A and B are shown apart, each in its own frame.
Chain A
Amino acid sequence: EVQLVESGGGLVQPGGSLRLSCAASGFTFSSYEMNWVRQAPGKGLEWVSYISSSGSTIYYADSVKGRFTISRDNAKNSLYLQMNSLRAEDTAVYYCARDAWEQWLVLEYWGQGTLVTVSS
């Protein structure tokens, strides 16, 4: 069974940093592309970032470019999102999501999400 479990969310002050993790199991993590998607409270879905299976190709939404860094450790079956210079508008539930096999940006499996609150 595919499982994605996010962690690392919490309350952080504006300008602060946070590192999210996503632990993957039930599939060959190193073979799949991964994404972060966020959802502000009561709002819709916003794609944040993508990383290829090897980590060699990375994309970001303009709203987070230069502040967030996606990475992965295939030996640890883990995906990460380093978030710096956080703003109030970054407050959201952050989901990690796995692409379907050979179908990039078809978000087949999602974790349960971790809440990030940016507030003083």
Chain B
Amino acid sequence: DIQMTQSPSSLSASVGDRVTITCQASQDISNYLNWYQQKPGKAPKLLIYDASNLETGVPSRFSGSGSGTDFTFTISSLQPEDIATYYCQQYDNLPPTFGQGTKLEIK
């Protein structure tokens, strides 16, 4: 199975900060990488697909980049409603696998 390693595991930032989360795959996954947001007690929500494509309706402050094994997820200006856990997911190979998650908190 492809291992997905996210960092950091948790992050505290202030409203308005630029926030960056990284995800590293254990092997080349091209751009078959998605990012999800999960708020407490809720289902995950797709934010970014194919590494850099913004899902319809998702605010433009969210972005993704990368290919191969190294990927980055960025929130350009953190808002209070962005408090959540964020997961990357590869779908280049079966089984699809998720990173362990990054819990984002407001400082």
Contacts and interface: CB of A to CB of B under 8 A. Distances in A.
Contact of A111 (B43, B55, B97): B43
A95 B91 contact: no
A45 B87 contact: yes
B98 interface: yes
Most chain B CB within 10 A, of A59, A106, A110, is at A106
A62 interface: yes
B43 A59 contact: no
Interface residues of B, number: 22
Nearest 10 Cβ contacts at the A-B interface: A105-B91, A110-B43, A45-B98, A105-B96, A47-B96, A106-B49, A44-B101, A44-B100, A61-B95, A108-B46
Interface of B: 34, 36, 38, 42-46, 49-50, 55, 87, 89, 91, 94-101
8 contacts: A44-B87, A44-B98, A44-B100, A45-B89, A45-B101, A100-B46, A105-B89, A110-B44
